[in-house]
Structure 1
Amino acid sequence: MTSKRPLGLPSVRLIVIAAVAGILAGAVAVYVTSMGSGNGEGGQGGGSLLTASAGQCEGSAELAKSVAGFSRGQVAAMVEAQPPRRIDLAFKGPGGQDIKTADLSGKTVLVNLWATWCVPCREEMPALNALQVKMGGKDFEVVAVNIDTGSDEKPKKFLEDYKIDRLGFYRDSSMGVFNAVKKEGLAFGLPATLILDKKGCLISSMNGPAAWDSPDAAALVKAAIGS
């Protein structure tokens, strides 16, 4: 692990960006304006599927409301899901295997969509790594899904160069996962973050970066876990 960050002064940069994101919470915050279409919004080639099945998320509304009470400070841009709904995203797992967020049920999951060409994403990754170090385990996991097109070489090199060593290597080179989340109005650009409860139900989401290694983030995640 390391405190090295891509642009040298990440903590200050992220504090400023996250503060602005908090002011703009609920508004359209475009961090990346040039996005490819991938293999279509249907999720071909490792894309994604969103299932709007609120009935399966009975009981998640109370948790979502509780978590919303911790949307402040460095994570003020987190927006409560109204209503919480089942989201099943498909991508590649660390071993290159097909995986869905449904396979991760039983634990709270923070899904973050990122790319090496997204500057705020690059700044955010070490903080996500630190969050996984601090809170990752049987009850919680940071699932950072890279959506660079092409081969795995560039994102793997970025993670190696900046010693992002505690996050699993999740990938969707088709960008289908981003397109599906965007179609649902949950992503206007990158990075985009979703928090899913233990049933795989969306309880909160954010557009833009955050200081995930901050006390504010730890308190929000703890509330999402329900501990």
Structure 2
Amino acid sequence: MQDQKKRPPAVKLFALAALFGVIAGAAAVYVKETGSGNGGAAPTADASCPLAGEKVAALTPLMRGQVAAMTPAPPANPRPIGGLDFVGPDGKPLTLASLAGKTLLVNLWATWCLPCREEMPALDALQEALGGDRFEVVAINIDTGDDEKPKAFLDEIAVRELSYYRDASMGVFNTMKKEGLAFGLPATLLIDEKGCLIGSMNGPAAWDSDDAKRLIEAALPPPAGS
């Protein structure tokens, strides 16, 4: 019984993701149709992400199955993700730039978010399987208040591999929302080793599935010295 609690069935997460996808999809259409009104100008590639478009194109076919809700970043307009400030395990301020050099799966979660709670063991399992010098799951808790509740929850479900990242101000979520990357929780970004956006997802996923591992493995930077 305890193992089932730690590893919710993939079909349950997939059903939650499907339901969330309908809601988020409707929001995405609204955002698209009520945009800034730039007259349909052709997007231009960001100079700081010259190769990200090629990577997005290569990884898009792998956004399927248990990670089919991942939306690839526009290959013609690759962009860096900045302005995400949070606190690290030691309580000191961090930014995504401080984690550059490895592929990141940035996930926003809260204890009051049921899909987040269901998804967390799978994220922990993904970090255990693939985490290291080239990849990290950056799960950022956005509960307001002190650390007592989120830490108690992680202890309760025996999360051991994820580092404890925190943003009690919810500034990370608000920044992602303004960028059109977050409509609710959980919200997830796949970011390459140079800080460039590869894809985004609203809703949970079975991150310990073979589909998820194939996507992440393909997104990893080359080994050092290669």
Common fold: TM-score over 0.5? yes
CA change 1:177–1:203 in 2 (3 A) is same
Could you report, residue by residue, the CA deviation over 1:59-91 in whole angstroms, capped at 9, with x for unpaired residues?
111001111110100000111111221112110
User: How many residues are matched?
Assistant: 203
Letter of the structure 1 residue corresponding to residue 5 of structure 2: R
2:89 counterpart residue number: 94
Shift of 1:54: 1.9
**1:80 matches 2:69:** no
The aligned residue for residue 108 of structure 1 is 103
In 1, are the aligned partners of 2:139 and 2:164 still within 8 Å (CA)? yes
Aligned with 1:149 (options 144, 147, 150): 144
Q: Unaligned regions of 5+ residues in structure 1, if any?
A: 30-52
Find the aligned partners of 1:21 and 1:221 in 2 and give their Cα distance.
Answer: 22
User: Higher helix proportion, which one?
Assistant: 2
Cα deviations across residues 98-143 of structure 1 (Å, max 9, x unaligned)? 0000111110000000000000000000000000000000000000
Q: Provide the residue aligned with 1:13 in structure 2.
A: 12
The 5 A counterparts of 1:3-82 are 3-5=3-5, 9-20=8-19, 27-28=26-27, 54-82=46-74
CA contact (8 A) 2:123 2:208 kept: yes
TM-score with structure 1 setting the length: 0.83
CA distance in 2, matches of 1:190, 1:134: 24
Q: From 181, 200, 221, give the equivalent of 2:216.
A: 221
CA contact (8 A) 1:4 1:162 kept: no
Q: Are 1:14 and 1:124, in contact at CA under 8 Å, matched by a contact in 2? A: yes
RMSD value, Cα: 2.2
Trace 1:120-199 onto structure 2 (pairs within 5 A). Answer: 120-199=115-194
- Shift of the alpha carbon at 1:19? 4.2
**How far off is 1:25 after superposition?**
7.6
| TM-aligned CA distance change 1:226 to 1:180, over 3 Å | same
Secondary structure of the corresponding residue to residue 208 of structure 2: coil
Percent of aligned positions with the same letter in both sequences?
58
User: How far apart, CA to CA, are the structure 2 residues paired with 1:154 and 1:17?
Assistant: 24
Superposition deviation, residue 9 in structure 1: 4.6
Distance in 1 between residues matched to 2:67 and 2:131, nearest whole Å:
18
**Corresponding residue of 2:37:** none
Q: Whole-Å Cα distance in 2 between the matches of residues 23 and 62 of structure 1?
A: 29
The whole-number CA distance in structure 2 between the counterparts of 1:129 and 1:205 is 19
The match for 2:203 is 208
- Tell me the distance in 2 between the aligned counterparts of 1:226 and 1:21: 31
- The answer as to whether partners of 2:190 and 2:197 remain within 8 angstroms in 1 is yes
The alpha-carbon deviation at position 204 of structure 1 amounts to: 0.6
Q: State the shift of 1:18 in Å.
A: 3.1
User: Deviation of residue 173 (structure 1)?
Assistant: 0.0
Question: TM (normalized to structure 2)?
Answer: 0.83
CA distance in 2, matches of 1:115, 1:22: 19
